[in-house]
């Protein structure tokens, strides 16, 4: 069982796509264990994207991510990190396959609607950046016992 951090970026909120995007993750079977509408500070954006510091798109990325509210989601499920990355699609909307979130809802390079952690280390680090431990909720869903029996 893995946990991952998903961000619905400012373009998702501005375009009123919070519901349709959350639905993609829920209908796949991921469990929402944390959810937060928030404004990302310059400091948080810099920490979150520190691996990209110095790249040509970095300043624009931080400006975009701090430009309006985002929805932070903590999701749990079997192979949640790679499952969510597949649901998101390729980084640029123009390259992302139809059927993915980025492939179905956008065509832009930078305004690509969602962030998802890309490794277990990144997921742990990013979940800690966006959620206090008490705001992540463990609870049972009826199909958890079916998955455990597999
Ligand atoms: P991903 O979000 O698919 O993990 P990433 O971590 O390589 O992609 O990059 C982080 C974000 O930065 C990405 O969602 C959009 C933006 N970005 C990356 N490469 C870019 C580029 N060449 N031009 C503009 N924006 C870019
Ligand atoms: Mg990334």
146 CA → ligand 1 middle, Å: 37
For a ligand 1 pocket test, name from 46, 65, 97, 110 the mutation site with the most ligand atoms within 8 angstroms of its C-beta. Answer: 110
51 by Cβ neighbours in 10 Å (0-12 / 13-18 / 19+) ranks as exposed
Closest CA to 116 of 105, 132, 127, 107: 127
Q: Which atom of ligand 1 is nearest to the CA of 85?
A: 3
Please report which confidence band the pLDDT of residue 96 belongs to, taking 50, 70 and 90 as the band edges. very high
Tell me: the pLDDT tens digits for 42-74? 999 999 999 999 999 999 999 999 999 999 999
107 CA → ligand 1 middle, Å: 13
57 CB under 6 A from ligand 1? Answer: yes
- What is the model's pLDDT at position 147? 80
Per DSSP, the three-state class of 5 is strand
Higher-pLDDT residue of 126, 143: 126
Ligand whose nearest atom lies closest to the CA of 122: 2
Please report which confidence band the pLDDT of residue 24 belongs to, taking 50, 70 and 90 as the band edges. very high
Domain boundaries, the chain: 2-136
Q: Does residue 115 carry a catalytic annotation?
A: yes
- What is the model's pLDDT at position 149? 78
Residue 136 to residue 60: CA distance in whole angstroms: 30
- What is the model's pLDDT at position 150? 76
Which residue has the CA at smallest separation from atom 1 of ligand 1? 91
- What is the model's pLDDT at position 146? 86
36 CA → ligand 1 middle, Å: 23
- What is the model's pLDDT at position 1? 92
Note the CATH number of domain 2-136.
3.30.70.141
| CA pseudo-torsion sign 80, 51, 7, 101 | negative
142 CA → ligand 1 middle, Å: 37
Q: Which residues contact 92 (CB under 8 A, 6 or more apart)?
A: 102, 108, 109, 112
pTM as predicted: 0.97
109 CB under 6 A from ligand 1? Answer: yes
* Helical ranges in the chain per DSSP H: 10-14, 18-28, 42-48, 58-65, 80-88, 101-105, 120-130, 144-149
Residue 85 to residue 141: CA distance in whole angstroms: 23
């Amino acid at each position: 069982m893995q946990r991952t951090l998903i961000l619905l970026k400012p373009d998702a909120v501005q375009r009123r796509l919070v519901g349709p995007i959350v639905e993609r993750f829920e209908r796949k079977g991921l469990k929402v264990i944390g959810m937060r509408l928030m404004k990302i500070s310059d400091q948080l954006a810099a920490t979150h994207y520190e691996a990209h510091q110095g790249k040509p798109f970095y300043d624009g990325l931080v400006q975009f991510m701090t430009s309006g509210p985002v929805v932070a989601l903590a999701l749990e499920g079997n192979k949640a990190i790679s499952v969510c990355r597949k649901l998101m699609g390729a980084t640029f909307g123009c390259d992302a396959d139809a059927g993915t979130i980025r492939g179905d809802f956008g065509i832009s390079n930078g305004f690509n609607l969602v962030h998802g952690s890309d490794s277990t280390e990144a997921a742990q680090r990013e979940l800690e950046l966006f959620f206090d431990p008490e705001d992540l909720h463990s609870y049972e869903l009826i199909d958890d016992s079916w998955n455990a029996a597999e």
